[in-house]
């Protein structure tokens, strides 16, 4: 279906599990639109010529109402619309339901860059490296205004909203380099808030993780969260057991159902934990008072993601390993000291590794410099 008029591409590349079905639906609607559009406009032009004033066409017994005809041309578009609706609903529900065992990547959007954090601690800006044929779940949030994380080649996009986690998932199917855009107007450099998604073979991805893992402290997200947990002293109130009246234990908290004092129930998911850190007085667990201070201005979004990763991992005294990394083929588990235990052969990183950051801004500010950035903005 690529009618190439000028020897220029007319389609986005198809590189994910959604692309095939998405394009099939798209071209099905193209067919519908062409059929009805051409039919109707041809009829209009034909009648305009055939029944031109003074032409010799038959004009006997004109009709001004015809209930049967009207009924049909209400029914047919309604049925076609409903068929399209059900098909697109199936696709949409697929897109919005991440598989259980997907590899999770965190993304923070901020003016005007994407900050990406892989579960084993590797971080990158404006570039997203993903392994091919792997389910990837992106959990994202914005640091300031609304952005939208948009990868045309994968046919996925979702907004990143400040103060709320959003998620999307995909499974890349073709190795290559694709556009990454911000698709929600977010200020001056909106058009340059983007970069590349680089899909690599699993082997290359493992090598890439190994090389980039050296860039920063070699800690998994959960381990970074643990450090922060201890530094702030969360454990003073959230200990190994529930400390009434100070605070409930966070061990094994993730995914359980929590009850507040007034009997409402909540599942302790990412958003619940984030809210409990930022605004602890909102949903106070039954049996406790409002004693916890708000950490709204203390933590960056990245800090909170790390804390959540720690709580997810059980909030025990030490994190064994990143379970997600363990599930990645070709990657050995790291030990608790954080040393990467990757396959020892030093394979050269083969995939194209251009730093695809398109901005002209030079170096992006460090993540810790957010407060300063905000001060500049206001």
Partner 1 sequence: MEHFHTNPELNYLTNGHSLRSWLLTEDHKRIAMLYLMSVTFFFFIGGLAAAGVRYELMSPAGNMMESETYNKLFTAHGTVMVFLFLLVAIPAVLGNFLLPLMIGARDLAFPRLNLLSWYLYMAAGTCITLAMLGGGADTGWTFYTPYSSMYSNSNVSLTLLGVFLGGFSSITTGMNFVVTTHKMRAPGMTWFRLPLFVWGHYATGVIMLLGTPVVAITLLCVIFERTFQLPIYSPELGGDPVLFQHMFWFYSHPAVYIMILPAFGVISEIMTAFSRKRVFGYHMIAFSSLAIAFLGFLVWGHHMFVSSQSMYQSVIFSLITFLLAVPSAIKVWNWTATMYKGNVVLSGPMIYGIGFQGLFLVGGLTGPFLASYGNDVHLSATYFVVAHFHYVMVGGSIMGFLAGLHFWWPKMTGRLYNDTIAKWNAMLVFVGFNLTFFPQFIVGWMGMPRRYHYYYFAPEFTPYHILSTMGSSILGIGFAVPAFYLIHSLFKGEKAGDNPWNAHGLEWNTSSPPPTENFRYKVIVTDDVYDYDPVAEHENDMLAAGGKA
Q: Is 73 in the site for partner 1 (CB under 8 A)?
A: yes
Which one, 54 or 255, has the nearer CB to partner 1?
54
What's the Cα-to-Cα distance from 246 to each of 194, 237, 298, 345, 348, rounded to whole Å? 45, 6, 21, 51, 53
The residue within the footprint of partner 1, chosen from 1, 2, 4, 64 (CB under 8 A), is 64
Q: Pick one of 133, 135, 161, 370: the residue that binds partner 1 (CB under 8 A).
A: 161
Instruction: Give me the residue label for tokens 């389910």.
Output: 135
4 scored as a contact of partner 1 (CB under 8 A): no
Site membership for partner 1, residue 327 (CB under 8 A) = no
Q: Encoding tokens for residue 345?
A: 């052969």
Report the nearest approach of partner 1 to the CB of residue 162 (Å).
5
Contacts of 164 (CB under 8 A, 6+ apart): 141, 271
Long-range contacts at 253-259 (CB < 8 A, ≥ 24 apart): 253/311, 253/315, 254/311, 254/312, 254/314, 258/283, 258/285, 259/285, 259/286
- 43 near partner 1, judged by CB under 8 A: yes
Q: Determine, following the binding rule CB under 8 A, whether residue 78 of this chain makes contact with partner 1.
A: yes
Query: Helix, strand, or coil here: 117?
Result: strand
- Residues 1, 6, 354, 375: which binds partner 1 (CB under 8 A)? 6
Residue selected from 15, 107, 108, 145 as contacting partner 1 according to rule CB under 8 A: 145
As given in the structure block, the two tokens for residue 184 are 């929600």
CB of 78 to partner 1, least distance (A): 5
Sign of dihedral through CA atoms 350, 354, 356, 357?
A: positive
Residues 184-243 that bind partner 1 (CB under 8 A): 184-192, 194
With binding defined as CB under 8 A, does residue 365 bind partner 1? no
Q: How far is CA 255 from CA 206, 244, 313, in A?
A: 30, 22, 11
Q: What does DSSP assign to residue 263? A: S
Residue 298 contacts partner 1 per CB under 8 A: no
Binding residues for partner 1 restricted to 80-109, rule: CB under 8 A: 81-82, 84-85, 87-93, 95-96
Q: Are strands 156-160 and 166-170 parallel, antiparallel or unpaired?
A: unpaired
Question: Of 1, 2, 4, 65, which one interacts with partner 1 (CB under 8 A)?
Answer: 65
Identify which of residues 96 and 264 has a Cβ nearer to partner 1 in the complex. 96
Of 41-49, 218-226, 242-250, 312-320, which segment contacts partner 1 by CB under 8 A?
41-49
Q: With beta carbons less than 8 A apart as the criterion, state whether 150 and 182 touch.
A: yes
Residue 32 as a binder of partner 1 (CB under 8 A): the answer is yes
Is residue 44 involved in binding partner 1 (CB under 8 A)?
A: yes
Total residues interacting with partner 1, rule: CB under 8 A: 91
Task: Compute the chain's Rg from CA coordinates.
Answer: 27
Q: 340-345 contacts: CB < 8 A, separation 24 or more?
A: 340/209, 340/210, 340/213, 340/218, 342/206, 342/209, 342/210, 343/206
CB of 218 to partner 1, least distance (A): 32
**Binding of partner 1 by 336 (CB under 8 A):** no
**Helix, strand, or coil (residue 148):** strand
Residue from 163, 329, 365, 368 in contact with partner 1 (CB under 8 A): 163
């Amino acid at each position: 279906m690529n009618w190439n008029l000028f020897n220029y591409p007319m389609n986005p590349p198809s590189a994910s599990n959604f692309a095939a079905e998405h394009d099939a639906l798209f071209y099905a609607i193209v067919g519908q639109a062409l059929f009805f559009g051409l039919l109707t406009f041809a009829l209009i032009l034909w009648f305009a010529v055939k029944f031109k004033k003074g032409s010799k066409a038959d004009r006997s017994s004109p009709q001004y109402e015809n209930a049967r005809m009207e009924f049909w041309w209400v029914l047919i578009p309604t049925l076609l619309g409903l068929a399209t609706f059900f098909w697109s609903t199936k696709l949409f529900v697929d897109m919005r339901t991440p598989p259980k065992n997907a590899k999770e990547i965190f993304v923070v959007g901020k003016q005007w860059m994407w900050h990406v954090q892989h579960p084993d601690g590797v971080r990158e800006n404006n570039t997203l490296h993903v392994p091919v044929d792997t389910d990837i779940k992106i959990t994202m949030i914005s640091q300031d205004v609304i952005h939208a994380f948009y990868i045309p080649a994968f046919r996925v996009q979702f907004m990143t909203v400040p103060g709320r986690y959003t998620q999307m998932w995909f499974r890349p199917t073709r190795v290559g380099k694709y556009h990454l855009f911000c698709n929600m107007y977010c200020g001056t450099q909106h058009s340059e808030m983007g970069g590349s998604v680089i899909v690599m073979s699993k082997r290359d991805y493992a090598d890439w993780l190994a090389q980039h893992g050296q860039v920063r402290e070699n800690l998994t997200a959960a381990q970074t969260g643990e450090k922060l947990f201890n530094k702030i002293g969360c454990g003073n109130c959230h200990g190994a057991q529930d400390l009434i009246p100070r605070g409930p234990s966070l061990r094994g908290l993730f995914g359980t159902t929590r009850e507040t004092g007034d009997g409402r129930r909540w599942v302790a998911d990412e958003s619940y934990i984030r809210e409990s850190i930022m605004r602890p007085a909102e949903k106070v667990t039954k049996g406790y008072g409002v004693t916890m201070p708000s950490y709204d201005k203390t933590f960056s979004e990245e800090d909170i993601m790390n804390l959540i990763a720690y709580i997810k991992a059980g909030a025990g005294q030490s994190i064994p390993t990143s379970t997600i990394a363990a599930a990645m083929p070709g990657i050995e588990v790291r030990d608790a000291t954080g040393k990467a235990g990757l396959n020892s052969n030093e394979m050269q990183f083969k995939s194209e590794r251009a730093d695809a950051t398109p901005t002209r801004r030079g170096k992006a500010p460090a993540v810790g410099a957010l407060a300063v950035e905000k001060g500049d903005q206001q």
